[in-house]
Amino acid sequence: MAERNGQRLKMTLKGDGFKDGKVPLTIVAAKLQALQNLLFHGAATVAHDVGSRRGQWYNKYREIVELHFVSSHHSDLVIEAELPSADPTLFQQAAQTLDFVFDVASAIDSDAKALAQLLPDRQQRALMLRAIGDLSPDTADEYQVELANCSSRHPQLRFTGRTRQIVRRLAMPEVELPSTQPETVLVGTLTKIHVDIAPLKIAVRVAAGTEIDCYYDESMRDQIANLLAGSIVEVTGVGSLDWDGRVKQIDAVNGVETVSMEPLRMTQFEHEGTRYKLREPLVVSVEYVDGLWVYSHAGLNLWGYAPRREDALRDLAANFHYIWQEFALEDDSVLDAKSQAIKHKLLGLVENSAGRSN
């Protein structure tokens, strides 16, 4: 049984973003898929597989690292799964994959030299790091993902929004930028993907009627091939500007990341020293429209928007503070029916013991 437990993994989803441990199935499904994808990439890297990772490339590793459900527990959501181990050779390959995955994830936050030794190849390093990024919450999400090997052979791993930030930075190659070409970040809708035809490029629609061509090199071909047209992406690279200082194109892509559009589950807002702690998470919709990040909750008539995600979230918090002042603290006699409904929603949402400003 001890040997079998060495092939078992326990993934825990926990945090203030989940009221009473209730985790949306969309998040459960996404993180289980991300964990499986990480193991597939780990197995391919351990096997020194330099072949293309496009399409159904991972089928050859199903016998080694395809996870099978064992059990789940509820409080914080804990899911246990195990790897196949019928064949001794496959069992050993699976054990090597687990060692590798835990070593890479452990090195991310503390040992850049060890990470470079584990993953000297740029392409393999980028694929592994992005797989770990997919397993991590978004930077604004208020939960974390924990991963443990049930045999206690490896330290427990904890993935947070900060983990995602770190792996994004590490996945970017170190490029010496020409003084005339600044590093550029574009966010928009992926409209074109050229993989097997020249030139190697993608096109990103950043506003209505405006598409930016972004050129990449051969080392990024597999990463680009696995992107989906129509998704929202963030592209980083060396850009060329027009006379008005606007980006004409990305001449050398350093990195591309699909941006999660999953709703945020806000547990608090803070603005100018006032902190509003919520009784239960508030689900906030996420959109990217004409170059703006838009966060909203229609029931409270709450909005926040800006070209940068961080600024849009700050705007959301400022507007929450505003509607609290304008509705929650106002007497019913001066509010119409719609405003009174918003007031009572706010009063039910914010804890009585903390976060109110007078």
Report if residue 356 sits inside a domain. Answer: no
Candidates 120, 133, 219; CA nearest to 169 is 133
**208 and 295 assigned to the same domain:** no
At which of 227, 258, 289 does a domain end?
Answer: 258
pLDDT tens per residue across span 176-213: 545 456 678 889 899 999 988 889 999 999 888 889 99
**CA distances in angstroms from 202 to 131, 290, 298, listed in the order given:** 21, 19, 35
The pLDDT assigned to 353 comes to 38
The domain boundary, picked from 258, 289, 312, lies at 258
* 11 and 125 co-located in one domain: yes
C-beta separation of 1 from 69 below 8 A: no
**Is 355 within a domain?**
no
Q: Are residues 115 and 77 part of one domain?
A: yes
Residues 149 and 31 in one domain: yes
Q: Is 197 inside a domain boundary?
A: yes
Question: What's the Cα-to-Cα distance from 45 to each of 39, 100, 311, rounded to whole Å?
Answer: 10, 9, 38
Q: Is residue 176 part of a domain?
A: no
Tell me whether residue 178 is in a domain: no
Tell me, yes or no, whether 297 and 253 share the same domain.
Answer: no
Q: What is the pLDDT of residue 332?
A: 87
In our burial notation (b when 16+ CB lie closer than 10 A, e otherwise), range 103-120 reads bbbbbbeeeeeebeebbe
From CA 199, how far away is CA 53, in angstroms rounded?
A: 20
Give the CATH number of the domain where residue 249 resides: 2.40.50.140
Q: Are residues 151 and 20 in the same domain?
A: yes
pLDDT at 39: 96
Is residue 18 in a domain? yes
In terms of domains, do 249 and 297 share one? Answer: no
- Do 109 and 124 share a structural domain? yes
Residues 48 and 196 in one domain: no
Q: Which of 171, 200, 219 is the last residue of a domain?
A: 171
Q: State the residue range of the domain holding 108.
A: 2-171
* Number of domains into which the chain is organized: 3
Which residues are registered as beta bridge partners of 315? none
Looking at the fold, whether 283 and 149 belong to one and the same domain comes out as no
Tokens representing 290? 């004409």
Strand-strand pairing, 247-258 and 210-215: parallel
CB under 8 Å, gap of 24 or more: what pairs does 267-272 form?
267/16, 267/17, 267/142, 268/16, 268/355, 269/316, 269/317, 269/320, 269/321, 270/317, 271/317, 271/318, 271/320, 271/321, 272/321
Residues 6+ apart with CB under 8 A from 337: none
Please give the pLDDT value at position 6: 63
Q: Which residues of the chain have pLDDT under 50?
A: 1-2, 177, 179, 353, 355-358
Are 237 and 272 part of one and the same domain? Answer: no
**How confident is the model at residue 31, as a pLDDT?**
95
Residues 135 and 28 in one domain: yes
Does 129 reside within a domain? yes
What pLDDT, on a 0 to 100 scale, did the predictor assign at position 85? Answer: 72
